[in-house]
């Protein structure tokens, strides 16, 4: 039986631009279970990081509405002191760029030790050092005693990302958010880091939110996938369903814009345009409509909501029933549900 770790309800995260607030995360509802990886995918600007930062309480000036229940406690707007206690202890985040996330003037051992010092106050100095060395070892860093005394610039990108992971897991968090954890790394190191995250999930029963625009990473790692577009979730399903039977035009466009080696892909369909900026975002109607101008406007819902097509498979707007790529005929594209 799955156990709910995080429950986000109607989350709206808005930033002030000139005199108005604009929602970068707009009415997002999701859950994450223990020992589950939830992938969040979408193009740049779709609101993935804004969502992650909201959960971690890392926005300074944003307006946060809705609920973020972490183990049944609403953390959406709790005091900074309480949040600090949770962050780095019960929940942690791995950021995309290992170089900027580390302090260049501090040896890595001390940086990991600092997290322990903040949250495990009764550890002796010797216990802390031993724990740091065992963490460095756990994340696959060779010669951990030596690396303990090194500065970030003395390590490769892959090693630095392992240090970031060591900091994130130092206190065995129940929730880990990984925001593009392998973007800055080359492919072989990427695979090693992803394996490491997978092992951690199994060893520590951690719930993981994995944010990426790399669909290959999602296919490999996630149990369920939420697709975000313009601040909203447009489709959510288990990973198998999402790749086998994607429904929303945006999901289909994302999947069809990358080459794959599987059968059934005749051609690539590149999605024209970009996610509009916050102040230009259409707030009514189907937000993806402008990027599929060949589809008749009448097929969109006025206020698109998420429909449960099959248990656990949700898709926003009914336009998916009428969608086809511009170089397909309507008749050829009987994809999805009728
Ligand atoms: N602090 C901020 N103030 C104003 N606008 C912001 C702020 N942070 C993010 N935004 C805007 O919110 C929208 C969503 O941004 P976000 O960084 O969450 O997207 P993303 O999907 O994570 O993109 P990427 O993959 O590039 O990180 C964008 O339009 C972005 O410009």
Spacing, Cα 50 to ligand 1 middle (Å): 6
In angstroms, the CA 291 to CA 273 distance is: 7
**Pocket perturbation via mutation, ligand 1, pick of 11, 15, 21, 50 by most ligand atoms within 8 A of CB:** 50
How far apart are the two ends of the chain, measured CA to CA in Å?
32
**Pocket perturbation via mutation, ligand 1, pick of 16, 18, 20, 24 by most ligand atoms within 8 A of CB:** 24
In angstroms, the CA 275 to CA 283 distance is: 13
**Pocket perturbation via mutation, ligand 1, pick of 49, 63, 277 by most ligand atoms within 8 A of CB:** 49
Which stretch of DSSP H or E encloses residue 39?
A: strand 37-41
**Pocket perturbation via mutation, ligand 1, pick of 21, 44, 45 by most ligand atoms within 8 A of CB:** 45
Helix axes 187-204, 157-169, angle to 10 degrees: 10
Q: Which pair of structure tokens corresponds to residue 8?
A: 């986000």
Residue-level pLDDT at 2: 63
Spacing, Cα 33 to ligand 1 middle (Å): 26
Spacing, Cα 97 to ligand 1 middle (Å): 16
Q: Which pair of structure tokens corresponds to residue 56?
A: 């971690």
Query: Which ligand 1 atom is the nearest neighbour of the CA of 47?
Result: 18
Residue-level pLDDT at 330: 65
Nearest protein Cα to ligand 1, atom 30: 45
φ/ψ of residue 126, rounded to 5 = -65, -45
CATH topology of domain 4-222: Rossmann fold (3.40.50)
In angstroms, the CA 315 to CA 304 distance is: 9
| Nearest one of 144, 230, 227, 162 to 200, comparing CA atoms | 162
In angstroms, the CA 330 to CA 317 distance is: 18
Radius of gyration of the chain (CA): 21
Spacing, Cα 294 to ligand 1 middle (Å): 28
**Strand 175-179 to strand 91-94: parallel, antiparallel, or no bridges (unpaired)?**
parallel
Contact 154, 89 (CB under 8 A): no
Instruction: Give residue limits of the domains in the chain.
Output: 4-222, 227-322
Residue-level pLDDT at 248: 96
Residue-level pLDDT at 277: 86
Nearest protein Cα to ligand 1, atom 24: 44
3 state SS of 332: coil
In angstroms, the CA 295 to CA 59 distance is: 38
| Nearest one of 175, 214, 185, 39 to 98, comparing CA atoms | 185
Contact 251, 242 (CB under 8 A): yes
Tens-binned pLDDT, residue by residue, of the chain (338 aa): 468 999 999 999 999 998 899 999 999 999 999 999 999 999 989 999 999 999 999 888 899 999 999 998 999 988 888 888 888 789 999 987 767 789 999 999 999 999 898 877 788 999 999 999 999 998 889 999 999 999 999 999 889 988 998 998 888 899 999 998 887 777 888 888 888 888 888 888 899 999 998 888 999 999 999 999 999 999 999 999 999 999 999 999 999 877 665 555 556 667 778 888 888 888 889 999 989 999 999 999 999 999 999 999 999 999 999 999 887 766 655 554 44
Alpha helices per DSSP H over 6-141: 48-56, 80-86, 98-101, 108-119, 125-138
Residues with CB under 6 Å of ligand 1 are 15, 24, 42, 44-50, 213, 277-278
Nearest protein Cα to ligand 1, atom 14: 47
Query: Which ligand 1 atom is the nearest neighbour of the CA of 231?
Result: 14
Nearest protein Cα to ligand 1, atom 6: 15
ipTM at complex level: 0.96
């Amino acid at each position: 039986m799955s156990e709910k770790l995080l429950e986000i309800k109607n989350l709206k995260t808005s930033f002030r631009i000139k005199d108005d607030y604009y929602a970068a995360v707009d009415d997002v509802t999701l859950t994450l279970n223990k020992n589950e990886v939830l992938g969040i995918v979408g193009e740049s600007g779709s609101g993935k990081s804004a969502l992650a930062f909201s959960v971690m309480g890392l926005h300074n000036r944003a307006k946060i509405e809705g609920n973020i229940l972490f183990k049944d406690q609403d953390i959406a707007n709790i005091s900074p002191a309480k949040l600090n206690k949770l962050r780095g202890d019960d929940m942690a985040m791995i950021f995309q760029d290992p170089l900027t996330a580390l302090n260049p003037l501090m040896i890595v051992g001390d940086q990991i030790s600092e997290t322990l010092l903040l949250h495990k106050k009764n550890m002796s100095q010797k216990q802390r050092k031993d724990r740091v060395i065992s963490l460095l070892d756990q994340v696959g860093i060779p010669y951990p005693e030596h690396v303990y005394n090194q500065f970030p610039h003395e390590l490769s990108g892959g090693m630095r990302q392992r240090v970031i992971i060591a900091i994130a897991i130092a206190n065995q968090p129940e929730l880990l958010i990984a925001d593009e954890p392998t973007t800055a790394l080359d492919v072989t190191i990427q695979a090693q880091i992803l394996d490491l995250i997978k092992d951690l999930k199994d060893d520590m029963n951690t719930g993981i939110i994995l944010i990426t625009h790399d669909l290959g990473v999602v296919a490999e790692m996630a149990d369920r996938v939420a697709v975000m577009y313009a601040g909203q979730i447009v489709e959510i399903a288990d990973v198998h369903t999402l790749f086998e039977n994607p429904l929303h035009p945006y999901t289909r466009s994302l999947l069809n814009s990358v080459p794959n080696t599987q059968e059934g892909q005749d051609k690539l369909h590149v999605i024209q345009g970009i996610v509009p900026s916050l102040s230009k975002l259409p707030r009514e109607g189907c937000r993806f409509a402008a990027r599929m101008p060949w589809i008749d406007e009448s097929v969109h819902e006025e206020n698109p909501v998420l429909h449960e097509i099959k248990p656990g498979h949700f898709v926003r707007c009914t336009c998916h029933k009428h969608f086809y790529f511009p170089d397909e005929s309507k008749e050829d594209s009987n994809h999805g549900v009728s």
